[in-house]
Amino acid sequence: MKIQNNHSLKKYNSFAVEAKSRYFCQIESNDQIDALLEWQQQFDLPLLLLGGGSNILFLNDYQGMTAIINTKGITIVGEDSDYTYIRANAGENWHQFVRWTVERSYAGLENLSLIPGTVGAAPMQNIGAYGVELADILYELEAIELATGQCKTFTQQECLFNYRDSLFKSSAFGQYLIQSITIKSPKKPQWNINYAGVKGSLEGKTINAETISNSIIGLRQSKLPDPALIGNAGSFFKNPLLRKSKWQALKQLYPDLSGYPQADGSIKTSAAWLIDQCGWKGKRQGDAGVYKKHALVLVNYGSASGKDIGRIASDIVKSVSDKFGIVLEAEPRMIA
């Protein structure tokens, strides 16, 4: 394991903002994970585990060790009459994993095509798109407890998945390194194609994992910026969950307000719509901006710092709060 000092993280965060990590290493094997944990126990410095860096905003340099998890490998680990079980190591690129399954006609991941990031980061925030969340197809995952170095298996239920949330992002935050995930691919899939825009683009085509994946790729490319070209972290804010009474009062004032009832009785509404109504779409403050095709996506046009992005995010939160009385919550993790 090669440790570097004061290493730039610009290439390792999808916002492409400049930030330095006091220590830096890349983890290519499970043996190197052991070495990393020994190092961490010896020096007792904060540890930042990064996959694709697609859900993080560096407001400052990082004063600990940043470890990029690069462990690779995809394997079919079993099957029964209903499912095929497929395991992927944490460092696999998420979209390449999705395409690996789709190209072999395994169903389940197609709606999650083109989401930036790695396999190991996916459970953290229970990635989701077009009516499907990781929680719907995850069977189990293996994670290393940082304090003991022990490998533990978590069933889907034990991961405590919620909307853009999990055990690893909440009560067990900072305690585990996700080593691999195992998904269950259904042998008799129920395709999820009701999301606006998906069904239409499939008209006249055979419906299977590959055609759905291609349709989702087209849809995402039409409205979301490619982080390889314009720095961004996908949706910057979560869609807010409102009390029913609050949602009803707003709906009287704004008949276009969307509302998706949740199992807990709350109503999810569209953060993009709220931000758009405040006139933010396409706005720019220097090189930090709101993407012109989607109000939920903050972008770095080149030389914005994390603080520049953070500033525009705070200004948006204030506008939405002033106009609608809703406080938006950021999705990416902030490194202060």
Check residue 270 for interaction with ligand EPU (CB under 6 A).
yes
Q: Compute the distance between CA of residue 65 and CA of residue 49 in angstroms, rounded to an integer.
A: 8
Question: Within positions 105 to 144, which residues make up the interface with ligand EPU, using CB under 6 A?
Answer: 129-130
Buried b (16+ CB within 10 A) or exposed e, 257-280: bebeeeeeebbbbbbbbbbbbbeb
| H/E element, 214 | helix 209-223
Q: Which is nearer to ligand EPU, 133 or 142 (CB)?
A: 133
Q: How many Cβ atoms are within 10 Å of 1's Cβ, its own excluded?
A: 16
Question: Nearest-CA neighbor of 212 among 125, 101, 313, 51?
Answer: 101
Q: Which of 13, 84, 235, 305 binds ligand EPU (CB under 6 A)?
A: 235
> Of 71 and 239, which has the nearer Cβ to ligand EPU?
239
User: Which of 144-152, 172-180, 288-296, 318-326 is the region at the interface with ligand EPU (rule: CB under 6 A)?
Assistant: 288-296
C-alpha R_g of the chain = 20
The DSSP result for 279-333, as a single string, is T-TT-EETTEEE-TT-TTEEEE-SS--HHHHHHHHHHHHHHHHHHHS----B-SE
Q: How far is the CB of 294 from ligand EPU (least distance, A)?
A: 5
Closest by CA position to 297, among listed 260, 255, 332, 251 = 332
Stretch that binds ligand EPU, among 32-40, 63-71, 96-104, 290-298 (CB under 6 A): 290-298
Q: What is the DSSP string of 20-58?
A: EEEEEEEE-SHHHHHHHHHHHHHH---EEEESS-TTEEE
Indicate the residue among 125 and 180 with the shorter CB distance to ligand EPU. 125
Say how many C-beta atoms besides its own lie within 10 A of residue 321's C-beta: 14
Q: Is 238 in the site for ligand EPU (CB under 6 A)?
A: yes
Among 272, 298, 309, 328, contact with ligand EPU (rule: CB under 6 A) = 272
Catalytic residue among 54, 235, 270, 305: 235
Q: Is 164 a catalytic residue?
A: yes
The distance of closest approach from Cβ of residue 241 to ligand EPU in the complex, given in angstroms and rounded to an integer, is: 11
Verify binding: residue 296, ligand EPU, rule CB under 6 A.
Answer: yes
- Window of 11-19, 88-96, 100-108, 266-274 that interacts with ligand EPU by CB under 6 A: 266-274
- Binding ligand EPU (rule: CB under 6 A), the pick from 294, 305, 306, 324 is 294
Binding to ligand EPU by CB under 6 A, coded x per residue (else -) over 315-334, reads ----------------x---
Query: Is the separation of the CB atoms in 4 and 24 below 8 Å?
Result: yes
At residue 268, the 3 state secondary structure works out as strand
Q: Which is nearer to ligand EPU, 20 or 238 (CB)?
A: 238
Minimal distance, residue 129 CB to ligand EPU, in Å:
4
Choice between 36 and 233, CB closer to ligand EPU: 233
- Cα angle vertex 27, ends 23, 28, to 5°? 150
Length of the chain: 336
Least Å distance between CB 122 and ligand EPU? 11
Q: How many of the chain's residues bind ligand EPU (CB under 6 A)? A: 16
Closest CA to 96 of 202, 203, 213, 239: 213
Which of the following is catalytic: 164, 185, 213, 305?
Answer: 164
| C-alpha span between 48 and 68 (Å, rounded) | 9
Q: Which of 17, 295, 312, 328 binds ligand EPU (CB under 6 A)?
A: 295
Q: Which residues bind ligand EPU (CB under 6 A)?
A: 129-130, 234-235, 238-239, 258, 270, 272-273, 276, 281, 294-296, 331
Known catalytic residues?
Answer: 164, 235, 331
